[in-house]
Structure 1
Amino acid sequence: MEPDAITSEWLSTVLDADVRITGTKRIGDGLVGMNLRLTIEAPAGSDLPASLIAKLPSPDPTSRATGIALRNYEREVQFYRQIAPTVDIRVAHCHYSEWHPESGDFVLVMEDLSPAEQGNQITGCSAEHARIAVLELARLHGPRWGDDSLSHIEFLQKRTSGDAPALQGMWTMFVPGFLGTYSKYLDAEGVALVERFGPRIPDWIEGRNLPLTVTHGDYRLDNLMFESPAGGYPVAAVDWQTPGQGPASADVSYFMGAGPLPEVRREIERGLVDDYLGALAGYGVHTDGDEFFRHYARDAYGGVIMAVVASQIVGASERSEAMFAAMATRHVRHCLDLGSEALI
């Protein structure tokens, strides 16, 4: 769906209310999707808010093709339809969703989370925001921990040993381009870690054996909205284009690897993981702390994979390079700090 198709008439039809769009503004730095803030006038007595968010495919042809090929648009629509009502993590309320299998086109009309403020992947976050974000993950993972019915939900991403050849193929294809751009941001130790990982991918996947649950798949600062002095929820998660059935340790490790700066992460890491496990206990989930942390350390490689692959399949910009440079350097350092390679 194109932005010019978002008209007052269209919005009135999908909301079943006589509304008028009085302003449209693009917000955020989405790489695969585009978000528009719609300022609206609604009938007197309506419970509709003064603004809504419309999410559409990216206007960048490369990013749009990626979103369709990887089923990102389909998965986000289906997450709001099928998964969001079954978990407790704070997300934007979805007023309307549409996805067209033939073209891959989609649109979401969602709650405007302002005055909450988007996190910033480039600058990193405070220890306080890291704590809020990680504890919120328990509200995603806890309700469906070990839920076997997730295996029957086809659109959820699942990474099994059978996926190893495909992931190795992508890694082999994209590492040269990644290093061509980002090796200047890594030290020699970091470059060597990236170069050694490819042959280890099958063992890395095979060694993941925690119970499975719903995962976000890209739980990072740019996809989180934090309370501001003007208000908002403590934190809300957006960009549900990569939901999956996987180990909870992957989401926790991915966020911690590049959310707080390394010096902050090192100070809070183990204690915060233990507090997260304490929050899971509220859902009746009891997991050995040492075993979970071992998987958490192994899963630090998930951030390296994201930095290598995603940086090569979305449209390039000055902002995207800065973001992927921050992710690559921090995720690689996370692996090195935790001795992740020795745990494969």
Structure 2
Amino acid sequence: AVAAVEELAKLHAPRWDDPTLNDLDWLGGRSTPEDIAAVVGLWAMFLPSFLETYTHHLDAPQLDMLNAFGERIEGWMNGRNGPKTVTHGDYRLDNLLFGDGTAAPRVTAVDWQTPGHGSPVVDLSYFCGAGLVPEERRTHDRALVRSYVSALGIGGVDADEAWVWEQYRRETFAGVVMAVIASQVVGESERSEAMFAAMATRHLQHAIDLDSLALT
């Protein structure tokens, strides 16, 4: 996990708060009014079918969190602020290859279908939220955020750790949105249901553990 977040900082740091990224039309994730309206519409469209399949995977607090967040999704997206950079958009274990750092890089990220220009901490919270089982993630949340901030510093970015931590808490919901929407637009299989169930339960638990709703 440390290797993964340090590699993520190597992606984010070189173009941190770079205004010239606005000129790259092919980068998505900018949270324009049109983007926000699209996500809100997709959430409303897909939530019923998501619940039909995944409700039995969720415990009562997770289901309550899902419903409470759904009422605030537009405000949550509108409330994003701070520096932007190049983002991966789907930085999770299925898309990471791990090596020994000599014959192969420590981490290689694949699946570059969703590169964006947005909040860097979305990638960080998304990876940690589902990449670690909740018991381990609770233990290492703070240390992983600290490792990320330190790696940004090596890349020349002086990020405020308190701000990164607040955004990390707030962006637990990015994984929730991905779990709800993406689960309804891919082919159904036993493996896909297991994967999206893990994503949904872990991201919702992340939000519960960090009281993320208070920041929406």
Q: TM-score, normalised by structure 1?
A: 0.61
Is 1:218 aligned with 2:90? yes
In structure 1, C-alpha distance between the alignment counterparts of 2:163 and 2:153, rounded to whole Å: 16
1:229 is displaced (CA, Å) by: 11
Aligned to 1:47: none
How far apart are 1:220 and its partner, in Å? 0.1
- 1:147 paired residue number: 18
Provide the rounded CA distance (Å) in 2 between the counterparts of 1:293 and 1:137: 16
- Structure 2 residue aligned with 1:227: 99
Give the Å deviation of 1:228: 6.3
Structure 1 position 186 matched with structure 2 position 58: yes
Letter in 2 for 1:281: G
AA aligned to 2:193 is E
User: Which structure has the highest strand share of the two?
Assistant: 1
Structure 1 gaps, min length 5: 1-129
Which residue is equivalent to 1:295?
Answer: 167
Task: Provide closer, same or farther for how the CA distance between residues 230 and 293 of structure 1 changes in structure 2, counting only shifts above 3 A.
Answer: closer
**What pairs with 1:79-90 in structure 2 (closer than 5 Å)?**
none
* TM-score normalised over the length of structure 2: 0.95
- d(CA) in 1 for partners of 2:100, 2:198: 24
Cα distance in 2 for partners of 1:197, 1:262 equals: 20
Q: Is the 8 A contact 1:161 1:202 kept in 2?
A: no
Partner amino acid for 2:7?
E
Higher percent of residues as helix: 2
Amino acid paired to 1:142: A
Within 5 Å, which residues of 2 pair with 1:246-265? 246-265=118-137
Conservation of the 8 A alpha-carbon contact between 1:161 and 1:205:
no
Asked if 1:202 corresponds to 2:74, the answer is yes
Taking only the aligned residue pairs, the percentage that are identical comes to 53
**1:284 CA displacement:** 1.9
Q: Which has the larger radius of gyration?
A: 1
Aligned residue for 1:243? 115
Query: Hey, what does 1:274 align to over in structure 2?
Result: 146
Mapped partners of 2:102, 2:85: distance in 1: 34
Deviations 1:102-145 (A, max 9, x none): xxxxxxxxxxxxxxxxxxxxxxxxxxxx1111111011000000
- The alpha-carbon deviation at position 233 of structure 1 amounts to 2.0
Equivalence for 1:171: 43
Cα distance change of structure 1 residues 275 and 324 upon mapping to structure 2, 3 Å threshold: same
Q: Is 2:202 the counterpart of 1:321?
A: no
Q: State how far apart, in whole Å, the 1-side matches of 2:205 and 2:194 are.
A: 17
Give how far 1:230 is off: 11
1:161, CA displacement in angstroms?
A: 4.8
State how far apart, in whole Å, the 2-side matches of 1:287 and 1:231 are. 32
Moved more, 288-297 or 161-170: 161-170
